[in-house]
Amino acid sequence: MFAAPDGGLTIKNKADAEVDRILAEQYARGMKLLTDNKDLLDAIAKTLIEKEKISGTDMLKLIQSMKPDLVSQDTLAKVAEVIAPVTQALSPDQKLDPAPA
C-alpha cells in the first residue's frame, strides 16, 4: 500500500482495504449458507433432475418441510393469495408454467 505524505494510508487504500474486507466477509457468509444448507440444495437439485422445473410454491414447501424455521405458514398463505387470481384467470386448457423453459 502507498503511504500518504504524512505516513498514513491514502483514502484510496483505505477504501480498497474496506472493499477487500467486505468481499471476504460476504464470501465466508455465502460459503457458510451453502454448506449449512447442503441437504436442502441436494433436495432441490434432485427435484429438478426428476421434474426439470419447480414452482416457487413447491420450492417453498420443500424448504419448509426440511427447514421449517426458514418459511412460515404465513409466507405460504401470502404466496397462494398472489397465485390464486392468476390460476383462476386461466382457461381450463391452459396450464400455469411455474418457470420459463
Distance CA 25, CA 14 (A): 16
Global pTM exceeds 0.75: no
Cα 20–chain centre separation: 23
Cα 31–chain centre separation: 13
In the chain, the percentage of residues whose pLDDT exceeds 90 is 50
Q: What are phi and psi of 25, to 5 degrees?
A: -65, -45
State which residues of the chain have pLDDT below 70.
1-8, 86-101
Residues 6+ apart with CB under 8 A from 71: 60, 61, 63, 64
Distance CA 96, CA 98 (A): 6
Taking only the tens place, the pLDDT of each residue in 15-31 is 999 999 999 999 999 99
What pLDDT, on a 0 to 100 scale, did the predictor assign at position 73? 86
What pLDDT, on a 0 to 100 scale, did the predictor assign at position 35? 97
